[in-house]
Every structure is written in structure tokens, then in C-alpha cells.
Amino acid sequence: MWMDNVFSYGVDILLSAFAVCLFIYYFDIFFVRKKNKHSLITGLALFALWQFGISSIIELPAYANIAVTIIITLISVMIIYESTIWKKYVFVIAFNAIWMLMETLCGYILLLYCEKYAYIQSVGSFISMILFLVVIFALKKVFTDEEIKELPAKYSILLVLIPTGSIYIMNNIFMLGFTADDDRASFNSAITAIILFGMNVLIFYIYMKLADDLCLKRMTSIYEQQLELCERHQQEREISILQLRDEKHNMKNNLVSILAYAENRDYEKIIAFVNEVLGTRGMAATDISHSGNIVIDSLISYWFMTAKQENIEFSVDICVPMILPFKGADICLILGNLLENAVEAAQKVEGKRYIKTKIKYDKNNLLVFVSNSYKGTLMKTKDNRLRTTKSDVENHGVGLPSVYRAVAKYHGTVVIDDSKPGCFRIRVLLYGNRK
């Protein structure tokens, strides 16, 4: 008697181990394991103990047995694998539904063709596991190379209804088939089991198809938004180009007029014309800069008066000769942009507003250093350059690309320093011996 019990327990242990293998082979297709090895051991031990218990020790009503099996399987999956709860729930229900259908189908086959083995649980369990293993290998062949995407909860709930309904239907049919002493009833039940099995296998295809379609819709939506942004950016760029062309055209015409006045030595008209263009009433005399370099002195004076109107403290330290080995247009572009950006930035400061300018000429090299107060956070590119978009960087982004290009002509450098909160510093170095 005890030998029979030992043999029975041995068979149950082997079947439980087989069930664990099916568990691993199946869920490894759809999920990624957690890196923690303890999670794997804990989850498999829980699943194995339950499989051993229901086969040899624990006796529960049919629906209670099914419910607890699903719960234990779900808990084991949650312990071992990474993913969302709804995705896990879909594949856990499908796992149990297909396994139950395999057991039901094997029961009917044995009942029809090998009735003497139909009531031996271990035989039916082993055959059903073999069939389930074949199904798992087929699923692995189909889905191994595909990424199993996440599906929203509402779709997961809908998909779960099919395998859940299959479990309920097959449990009732199984009970009716074994109580009815009719081969035809058993045959029809077997056919029903095959149809339901096919429906549950289709769940995997439906899941993948829905996930792919939803992913495609999301990607399409993102691409449409990006396309809209590109179109908007292109329109803004075209408008900017047109404005630049207009400004260039107007500047050319203005310079032609100034040149004509200059050739006629009509200086009063030149002054009046320039004041009209600038929208000023002339440049008042100031001692802020008197280096003798007309380009530098005029720019310093203009932006000094502009800063004064905005209650910005403006200090300078200039030591340059009258003539520099650099093009006046380049000096005008570099210094003009730096001072304009500094004034615009300081205007937005609520507390102390200041601009400090230092220009030195030494050994044929020109150093321009500007520091100012500012408010906000600077946005930089990977090469430590400021972005030229007018967001927060509206303070310092305008005209900087032109500054970089002009400095590059003289193999110079541009260094930006914002390490001190609320203080923006930029240093430009031009090499006069490297034209």
C-alpha cells in the first residue's frame, strides 16, 4: 500500500515539475524576467507547490479550484516577470484556459478511444501537458521575433472575456459529457473543445494585432504633430527670410543715400537721415568712451544712452587705438550684438540692472568682455553655445550666430560663463595676426 502512495506522490512531483517547465516556456515568450534570482525561485516554488497540492492533497470545488489556480499563476507571474498588471492578466487567463481545454480534450479522447485510462488523472494530465507543450513551441515560433507591446486596460479587459468564458463553458461541458452516457455527446464536446481552443489561440494574434495598430496610430499621431511643427517652422523661416531680405534691401538703399550725402559733404543731412532711420534725436555728447576709434566709441555711446533710459547701470573700461587690424563692419557686428543682447537681458531684471564692458587691445589681439544682469535659465547646445530661439534665451540668443561667424574669420574664441547666478558673462577674443 505504501509503495502505491510513494509511486503516486512521485508521479505528482514529476507532473508538478513538468507544469513548472510549461510555466517558464510559456511566459518567457511574452515577458522579460526580473533580474533578481530570488524572485524566480519564489515564484516557481509557489506555482510548483500549488500544482503538487491540487494533484495530491488539496480538494476543492471545481470553480474554486480554477479561481485559485488563476490567482496563484498570476501572483507567480507578478513575482517573476516585468510588465503591466493587465498584460499579465490577459496571458495568465489564456494560459489557464488553453491548459484546461487541453485537459478537457484529452479526457474526451481517452473516453472515446481508451476508456480504461480516462479516469486515471495522471495519464490525462501528462498527455494534456504534452499537447500544451506543442502549443507553446508553436507560439514561441510565431512570437519570439516580435516585440510584445503593451495594450491599454480597456482592450485587455475585453480580450480576457474570451478565455474566461471558455473556462466556464468547458467546465460545464466537461461535467455534462462525463455524466451523459452517450458517445455522440462526448464527440460533440470534443469538437466544442477544439473550437474553443482555436478561439483562445486567436487571442494571441488579436492581442498582437491590436497592440501593433494602436502603436501605429500613436506613431502616426506623433509624426503628424512633428510634420505640423516642421511646416510651422518652415513658414516662420520663410517669413524671417523675407523680412531679412527687406531689411537688407532697405539697408542698401539707406547706405546709398548716406554715401550720396557724404560725397556732397552734406553732413547735416547725413545726421538727420541716420537719426530718422534709428528713430533718435541725435547722440548727445558723452564721456563714456573716448578711445578715438569711431566704431567702438559710437556703439558704446549709443547703447549707453539706451541703457540709461532703462535705468541700467552702464560702466566701461576701454583701451584701444584709433586704428585696429580688424574690419570695422566685423567690430560693429560683434560689439553691437553683444551690447544689444546685454541691454535686452538687463531690461527684464527686477532688481539691480547693470552692464559692464571691457575692451582691451594687446599684441595685435582684441579682447571684448561683457557682463550683465539677467533673469531666467540659459539654454545651451552640446558645444556650450546658446540656443538661438527666443524662449528664455531671448535675452542672449539674438545675433549670436553672426557673432560666432565674425569671430571665426579671425580664428578667435567666444566663451560664455553663467556660473554665477543672475550674471551673464561673455568673452570674445580676436587674433589680429591671423587674418
Amino acid at residue number 71? I
Domain end call among 224, 241, 270: 224
Q: Read off the pLDDT of residues 292-308 as tens digits, 9 standing for 90 and up.
A: 788 888 888 888 888 88
Q: Which of 91-95, 122-126, 420-424 has the highest mean pLDDT?
A: 420-424
The confidence band for 391, taking pLDDT boundaries of 50, 70 and 90, is very low
206 and 306 both lie in a single domain:
no
Give the pLDDT score at 54: 63
Domains of the chain: total: 2
CB proximity list for 12: less than 8 A, separation 6 or greater? 52, 55, 56, 122
- Do 192 and 289 reside in the same domain of the chain? no
Question: Is residue 240 included in any domain, yes or no?
Answer: no
Q: Which of 249-263, 305-319, 321-335, 358-372 is the least confident region?
A: 249-263
Read off the pLDDT of each residue in 231-251 and give the average, rounded to a whole number: 71
Same domain as 394, residue 309: yes
Residues 208 and 291 in one domain: no
Point out the domain boundary residue: 197, 224, 251.
224
Judge whether 98 lies within some domain: yes
Q: Is residue 17 part of a domain?
A: no
Are residues 296 and 177 part of one domain?
no
**Looking at residues 209-226, what average pLDDT do you find?**
78
Q: Which of 187, 203, 224 is the last residue of a domain?
A: 224
Same domain assignment for residues 87 and 220:
yes
**Shared-domain flag, residues 305 and 185:** no
Identify whether residues 89 and 202 lie together within a single domain: yes
**Least confident span in 80-84, 105-109, 281-285, 390-394:** 390-394
Q: What is the pTM of this model?
A: 0.45
pLDDT on residue 397? 47
Asked if the structure places residue 99 within a domain, the reply is yes
CATH number, residue 403: 3.30.565.10
Residue at 278 is within a domain: no
Residue 300, all three cell numbers:
558704446
Give the structural domain span for 186: 83-224
Q: Using an 8 Å Cβ cutoff, are 308 and 314 in contact?
A: yes
Question: Which residues contact residue 13 at a Cβ distance below 8 angstroms, ignoring those fewer than 6 apart?
Answer: 52
